């Protein structure tokens, strides 16, 4: 895991926008460059969009998850 994490961090440092665009493409299956650019720009300008689902953070803090109304399967 450490080597892969290091590679991801290097990609993020090299070109964060392209990294995000590639990640969004992989996760959504979207291939249209114009649409991906639009999606990434909205993400970059937004203060409430997160690349990582908030439940990952709440998983670390079950009390916060409970306060937010999240339930775990």
pLDDT band at 51 (very low <50, low <70, confident <90, very high): confident
pLDDT band at 71 (very low <50, low <70, confident <90, very high): low
- Give the number of other CB atoms < 10 A from CB of residue 44: 11
Q: What pLDDT score does 57 carry?
A: 75
Q: Which two tokens stand for residue 48?
A: 């409430």
Is 73 within the bounds of a domain? Answer: no
Is 42 within the bounds of a domain? Answer: yes
Q: Which pTM was predicted? A: 0.74
Q: What pLDDT score does 72 carry?
A: 60
Distances (CA, A) of 65 to 10, 23, 36, 68: 31, 26, 31, 5
Range of the domain at 29: 2-68
Which one has a higher pLDDT value, 60 or 8?
A: 8
Mean pLDDT of 25-41: 95
Is 23 within the bounds of a domain? Answer: yes
Q: What is the DSSP letter of 69?
A: T
Number of domains in the chain: 1
């Amino acid at each position: 895991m450490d080597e892969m994490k290091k590679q991801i961090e290097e990609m993020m440092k090299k070109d964060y926008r392209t990294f995000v665009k590639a990640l969004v493409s992989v996760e959504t299956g979207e291939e249209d460059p114009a649409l991906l650019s639009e999606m990434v720009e909205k993400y970059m300008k937004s203060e409430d969009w997160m690349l990582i689902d908030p439940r990952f953070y709440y998983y670390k803090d079950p009390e916060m998850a409970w306060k937010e109304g999240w339930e775990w399967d």
